[in-house]
Amino acid sequence: MSESEVSSPPRAHTRRPPATIYDVAKASGVSPSTVSRALNKPGRLKEATERRIRDVADELGYRINPMARALPTGKTGTLALLVSDITNPVYFDVVRGAERVATAAGQTLVFAESQESPELELATARRLQTSVDGLFLVASRLSDEEIIDLASVKPLIVANRQVEGVSAVIPDPRPGIAGALDQLREFGHRRIAYLAGPDASWMNDVRWRTLFHFAVDAGMSIVEIPSTAPTRAGGADALPRVLAADVTAVFAYNDLIALGLLRAARDRALDIPRELSIVGFDDIFGADLPTPALSTIKSPLREVGEAAIHRLQVEIAGIEEKHEPRLPTTYISRESVADLGRDRTR
C-alpha cells in the first residue's frame, strides 16, 4: 500500500467550552447572582423570571457544577447508595425509591456495590464520603464499629441493619412471618426449616430468631440449614440437606434462595408443593413467575429506599424529626405452599 493510500485518522470533533453562569446571565439579561438563585434556590424569584432563566440555561446546555456549589455551602447535592450485591433484584425497588426522593429534592444519587465483601464495602464507603453529603448503606456487611466510625464523618443511614446510635430503616419481619406460619399451621405443617443467608447479614439473624420464636410458640419444630450463597445456586445446593431434614415446609432467607431450591426440587421430579412447601422473603420481581408461583413475605422495598433518603436529607439539614425505623412486612400466599390435610397425610 502506497503512502498516498494510507488514510489519515479522523480529526477530533471540536468541542465547545461548557456554558457558564455568566453566559446564562448575559443571555437572560440578569445578574449571575440572580441566575444562581433561580437554579439553586427555586421559589425566590418571580415565576416568569425563573422560568426564563431555566429555559436559557437549557438552551445553552448549562449544568450546575456540584463541586463549585459546594465551595460556599459545604454541600455537593450528591448522596451515595452502597449495596452488598448489585445483581440481587431485591435492591431494584430500594434504589428506585431512593432515586425518586433524591431527584425530587434536586439531588444526585450515585450507586456502588461491595460484592458481599466487607473490605471492599469499607474502602468504597470511605472513598465516596469525600465527595457526597451523606451515605446510605443497604444490607451492610460491616461491623458495628466500622459503621459508627463512618457515621462520625458524615450523615449516614443503614437499611436492613441496626446499629446503636445510627439511623436505620428496617422491614419488620414479624407481621409477615406470623401470617405465613398461621397458614402453614392451618394447612397441617408441623416440621419446618429455615434456609439461612450469609453469616454476616444482620437481617438473616433477625429473620431466623423471629421465625424460631414464632414457630416454637406455635408448637412447631424448626431447624436451621445453611446455604452456600444468598443466590439461586445457593438454594439449589441446599436441596439434599433440606430433604435430609425431613420437613414439610422451608422458609428461605430470600426469594433467590427459594427459587433456586424450587428449581432444583422440580429438576429431581419432586412434586412442589405437595412434597415440600417453600416460602421466600422479599417478593422480588419474578417471584410470581415460576410454576408453582412462590409464596413469600413481602418487604416494603420501595418505601425503605424512600424513607432512608428522606431521613438522610433530614440529618444533612440538621433537623430534629421523629423517626419510625420499622416498616411492616406482609405475607403473600401463592401456589408454593400445600394444604397437607387436603393433599396427603404426613
pLDDT digits (tens, 9 = 90+) for 164-196: 889 999 999 999 999 999 999 999 999 999 999
Give the per-residue pLDDT at 74.
Answer: 62
CA 314 to chain centre: 20
Q: Any idea which residue has 438552551 for its cell?
A: 59
Please report, for the domain that includes residue 35, its CATH number: 1.10.260.40
Amino acid at the residue 128: L
156, 107: one domain: yes
Give the per-residue pLDDT at 181.
Answer: 97
pLDDT tens string 78-134? 999 999 888 888 889 999 999 999 999 999 999 999 888 899 999 999 999 888 999
Task: Supply the pTM of this predicted model.
Answer: 0.75
The percent of residues in the chain predicted with pLDDT above 70, rounded, is 89
pLDDT tens string 194-214? 999 998 888 999 999 999 999
Cα three-residue angle 115-119-120, rounded to 5 degrees: 45
58, 129: one domain: no
The percent of residues in the chain predicted with pLDDT above 90, rounded, is 62
Is residue 121 one of the residues assigned to a domain?
A: yes
Residue 216, pLDDT > 50, answer yes
Show the beta-strand stretches assigned E in 173-240. Answer: 191-195, 221-225
Chain-wide mean pLDDT for the chain? 88
Tell me which residue range forms the domain holding 91.
78-170+301-325
Give the per-residue pLDDT at 70.
Answer: 52
Is residue 73 one of the residues assigned to a domain?
A: no
Give the per-residue pLDDT at 43.
Answer: 78
Is residue 3 one of the residues assigned to a domain?
A: no
- Hey, how many other C-beta atoms are within 10 angstroms of the C-beta on 229? 17
Average pLDDT over residues 20-32: 87
Give the per-residue pLDDT at 78.
Answer: 93
Give the per-residue pLDDT at 69.
Answer: 56
Q: Provide the number of structural domains found in the chain.
A: 3
Amino acid at the residue 318: G
96, 126: one domain: yes
For β-strands 295-298 and 330-332, DSSP reports them as antiparallel
